[in-house]
Amino acid sequence: MKTLLLGIDIGTYSSKAALVTPVGDVLRTAVVPHGIATPAPGHAEQDADAVWWHDLAALCRQLLDGAPYRGSDVAAVAVSAIGPCLLPLDEAGRPLRPGILYGVDVRAAEEIAELDALIGRAEIQRFSLMSLTSQAIGPKIRWLRHREPEVWRRTRRLTTASAYLVWRLCGEHRIDRHTASHCMPLYDPRTGTWDERYAPHVAPTSMLPTPGWSDEVAGTVTRAAADATGLAIGTPVAIGAVDALSEAISVGVVRPGDLMIMYGSTTFFILVQDTPTPDERMWTVAGAYPGQFNLAAGMSTTGSLTRWFQDELARDLPPRDASALFAAAARVAPGANGLVCLPYFSGERTPLNDPLARGVIAGLSLAHSRDHVFRAILEGVACGVRHNVETLAQLGAQVRRVVAVGGGAQTDTWLQIVSDVSGLRQQVPAITLGACYGDAFLAGCSAGLLRRDQIAEWVRPGRSIDPDAALRATYDALYADYLDLYRDSRRVVHRLAGRQGSR
């Protein structure tokens, strides 16, 4: 019988899938690693077919190889992916260039300024409930239109990563409303539909996917998709979600006041609200379900920064194994012997929204070791988490519960540092499989096998990370230095960013 649920997530550096029963038991998982391309400073791209679709098909083949599960056992599938991204498609629905990634790609700074001037920054904030930043798709569409006119001439559809995969699976062009919210200024968050009023400055909304809720059925698996993946023809495909939203669902962050902190290549925050509290420093977007809003935020380089550190400064250690670095950092005293790190190695998203921000490590002396520097990086990321959470509080947003997820949540050293710096108590569920687990739940809802409130039955209690009150004074001083360092170095760092080339 078709009772199994398939969830697939395409991440920044890897893709993961899970085959799950309707009661939340995980039967099989699979992972496919990949990379990103950085063809120019501030640009981040991935090939939609060679990475996104390749990984989806490979994951399906691994999980549904007939021993013991096959495509005919799957009741429904849901996909999440990095986002919001931008991918132009031609008349036949084929990609015309690599996908332009989410807020870590900062190429459209000039287009943001142009749209602010044409429409008015205040009007964009009023209409879209947030300001244009590197996370917004609209400026990147304008960049494509003006900077790559030959590609634009052939473009018939504009899509994003998860919407493209849904398109490949079932031939329907659909997008979840959470991701659509970032297609500003083309999306009206009050009606949940596209709006043409500012389309002349960006693109006709007819080129965009039709918005819907994440657990709605987009369509069913086509013969071509079945041949590529091993899924059965006619299997329901949910509209799906951006990866962070699926990750929030996977750990039961679905009630107002729930805050997810996702520790991945970037760190992402989703606070569930029933009434929005818009502010230009954060992103106000649709939630997964009707009547919900998310106050979202994101840092640009966190897990990717620890990966850079290992690849470039710790090549003597086993590749892709940072356990020795974390163990050594745990032995370094809080404060890293007087070091402060700004982790803005790819600019910074919220609450600074500064694409020209760059990484700074201040206070270095000959007395410092590699372990001190790595500890300082972890503490710098923790200061960024505190900066975002304190900004939420300044807006009057209520945070009642904090849930930590993602690869970084597997490392107690890092979570403890974040709790100590921020004063947050973080819950870590027993199962933190990631967005693919949330996708499997969305698949179950789309197939009618589950109700939305049953996610509470899927989430198993885990552990809690409590802040050490004895370190509060140490980290209050570090956090003050962190804020001062950005303010005092900003002008010089911006000049340096302007001189950086591709090599």
On the question of a common fold for 4-245 and 256-428+468-503, the answer reads yes
Place of tokens 């090549």: 315
Q: Answer for the pair 464, 425: CB distance below 8 angstroms, yes or no.
A: yes
The pLDDT confidence band at residue 33, using thresholds 50, 70 and 90, is very high
| Separation of alpha carbons 370 and 365, rounded Å | 12
503 pLDDT higher than 60: no
Of how many residues is the chain composed? 503
The pair of three-digit structure tokens given for residue 127, joined into one six-digit string: 């209409």
CA 6/CA 417 separation, integer angstroms: 35
Sign of CA dihedral 184, 186, 187, 191: positive
**Assigned superfamily of 4-245:** ATPase, nucleotide binding domain (3.30.420.40)
User: Which pLDDT score, from 0 to 100, does residue 319 have?
Assistant: 82
Dihedral over alpha carbons 110, 113, 119, 123 (to 10 degrees): 140
Using an 8 Å Cβ cutoff, are 176 and 212 in contact? yes
CATH number of 256-428+468-503: 3.30.420.40
3-class DSSP state of 4: strand
pLDDT at 1: 65
Q: Checking DSSP bridges between strand 426-428 and strand 463-465, what pairing results, if any?
A: antiparallel
Q: Which of 154-163, 263-272, 278-287, 291-300 has the highest mean pLDDT?
A: 154-163
Buried b (16+ CB within 10 A) or exposed e, 160-183: bbbbbbbbbbbbbbbbbbbbbbbb
Q: Per residue in 441-479, pLDDT tens?
A: 999 999 999 999 999 999 998 999 999 999 999 999 999
Query: What is the Cα–Cα distance from 311 to 335, expressed in whole angstroms?
Result: 24
- Sorted by where each begins, the domain ranges of the chain are 4-245, 256-428+468-503
pLDDT above 70: residue 101: yes
Q: Which residues contact 117 (CB under 8 A, 6 or more apart)?
A: none
pLDDT at 259 over 60: yes
Nearest-Å Rg of the Cα atoms of the chain is: 22
Give the residue-averaged pLDDT of 91-120: 96
pLDDT-derived band at 41, boundaries 50, 70, 90? confident
Cα of first residue to Cα of last residue in the chain, in angstroms, is: 55
Nearest-angstrom CA–CA distance, 318 and 368: 23
- pLDDT 10s digits, 400-449: 999 999 888 888 999 999 999 999 999 999 988 999 999 999 999 999 99
> What pLDDT, in 10s, does the model give residues 65-89?
999 999 999 999 999 999 899 999 9
Q: What is the mean pLDDT of residues 328-342?
A: 98
DSSP 8-state code for residue 187 = E
Identity of the residue numbered 301: T
Tokens of 495: 């000049």
Beta bridge partners of 15: 10, 32
| Omega before 429 within 30 of 0, i.e. cis | no
